[in-house]
Structure 1
């Protein structure tokens, strides 16, 4: 009979989170044999030392990992286990993307519904614009549209817009061919990110709308399909139209400003704009001298505060060597754009001087 330190399969099942039938299966497959089997009754008994392996086995199977890979992970060291897990996740993600694309092809064939040609754009230009604008997306419960990119095609241009409520980024592209249709839709941001590599390698990309989705048609490569989000996108046009007059304008080197932000030790930053430059200081330590940057400034002197996670991405995605900041007061959105190219524009919301919460005035486009 088993000794007192062993436990029957039912008790072990409760501790490990595996069912008794699963334990029998893993025992027969050699992944988790019992510590002892009663030769008369055939009852299986397990030791407390096996609980950790059983729990890890359950976790790996919850990731849909094949038995052979599970065994390799369980019997390897940490570095090899990490590599095997990363390989498995990459395969699952790749398989899911392939299934998604195949499903899109099947759906497009249902009822033989023709797509609606929208426009043609240069692939590398579109890919860069998508990556720049998507930095302003966010995954927030109850607000799925914030994870999407708004695509709007007029008879003259294609505009891409995204917002996470604290930033709003928009870029206008000149199409390679005049748009055939006016069209607007909010594209799934995660799927669009996955499509960027193929888009970038294509000289021209044809945008084609279908029910609930959009196709990016490319020559000599696999077309990519992205779903549309059904939720209403925030009224960004009202946000832009309601901006107050600019009171302070500063032009500064993009690289120098980014370097100052990277060297900044805190989570919040204060910009002090005066006649001959801008000082990047700590928002939490008024005695910190800050980092002075030579800049061209006009208008009123101003001190304004930002979360570093809001300001840095807005500056880093700007086009060109210099960035222009249009300020409207310490509690109003700041417009950040290239000093010589205005087709990428980002609005960044400041925070209140007491840092207790972000500014609420117009913080949701």
Structure 2
């Protein structure tokens, strides 16, 4: 009955949303009124819509994107779909807070250097398994940039974050990441104990905490990264790396290489690698490689300065089956597909090794992720090529 309906003003008062917000969400197909007066255009809402309006108000407060708000309110009860959307947003917020803390730590360091320009820059020394470092370099080397106009990308980022070392390479059209555990030397903090005394228990505890929180980054030029990779073939079990003061040093098997890091700020890659895939497909790397090589392709502009390249389309149907097609092949209903540079895709596959891999597809404008089971921190991302309408 109309007497049970709430006016837009009453719903605004009871839900915490403003009248203008309710009008916006009506126009955005998020929360439509139960009835609109044909003469005045005035909106009326059913009693059951108050719960949705209150939920919507809270979703707004935590910054949930409009498309996700629509997905939560439109989710079928009992499917868990609404909770999955909210949980994914919570993870993004946590990741963002972690990034903000890291940036604040770097900002404090820059402020200290600005206020005390004569202070000695800290060095971070750590030990890594030589074989794992070699594998990590192999996994990212193909994605290093070579554009002389973008010198910041002409190297491999060595990003130390506590007990992990992450290697990153990108040329803007693809990105490769690999991570491996490290053992940080708590004494390598840029300070020396000149009195020769032993550390107290408190000093040791503080140093251990400092090692766990150690962070440093250096862009290792391509030539130096290749020299490091060659040195890692000497057969030694471990390698010792030192980052700091604009330099990179590696010692292993009685040999040592050092050189200057690139004096640039590497792009913030973390936000780019947080993906929300629609489909995850597992298959042998050799099977995908053969399918890509034998499938038809199409030429589309996708390279630097809009140059053409051969494009492969990966399609996952509603049943989760993967096919490799040419751009001109129309998708079936409910299919998800992404077009990528064929050569880039083939170059990314050897980095996954000869065994299984997992493809993550999010849609035609979402990056394609290529992962190796059991190595969550080592994967490649290919930027999509826009298909003609």
How many residue pairs get aligned? The number is 227
1:189 correspondence with 2:222: yes
Contact 1:156 1:178 in 2 (8 A): no
Contact 2:338 2:366 in 1 (8 A): no
1:216 correspondence with 2:250: yes
Q: C-alpha offsets along residues 292-344 of structure 1, whole Å, 9 cap, x if unaligned? A: xxxxxxxx621221111222222221256211111111111122101332121
1:268 correspondence with 2:275: no
1:169 to 167, 176, 180: 176
Q: C-alpha offsets along residues 37-77 of structure 1, whole Å, 9 cap, x if unaligned? A: xxxxxxxxxxxxxxxxxxxxxxxxxxxxxxxxxxxxxxxxx
Name the SS for the 1:140 alignment partner.
coil
Equivalence for 2:366: 332
Name the SS for the 1:234 alignment partner.
coil
1:151 correspondence with 2:158: yes
Contact 1:155 1:178 in 2 (8 A): no
Q: Aligned partners of 1:232, 1:126: CA distance in 2, in Å?
A: 23
Residues 261 and 119 (structure 1), Cα distance of their counterparts in 2 relative to 1, 3 Å cut: same
How far 1:133 sits from its partner (Å)? 0.9
Name the SS for the 1:257 alignment partner.
helix
Alignment of 1:270-289 (within 5 A): 270-274=313-317, 275-283=319-327, 285-286=328-329
1:344 to 369, 372, 378: 378
Q: Aligned partners of 2:238, 2:181: CA distance in 1, in Å?
A: 13
Structure 1: any 5+ residue segments left out of the alignment? 1-112, 288-299, 356-365
Q: Aligned partners of 2:181, 2:264: CA distance in 1, in Å?
A: 27
Name the SS for the 2:178 alignment partner.
strand
Structure 2: any 5+ residue segments left out of the alignment? 1-119, 187-210, 298-309
Equivalence for 1:250: 281
Contact 2:337 2:361 in 1 (8 A): no
Equivalence for 1:133: 140
Residues 145 and 114 (structure 1), Cα distance of their counterparts in 2 relative to 1, 3 Å cut: closer
Larger-Rg structure: 1
TM-score, length basis structure 2: 0.54
Q: Aligned partners of 2:294, 2:247: CA distance in 1, in Å?
A: 43
Contact 2:176 2:380 in 1 (8 A): yes
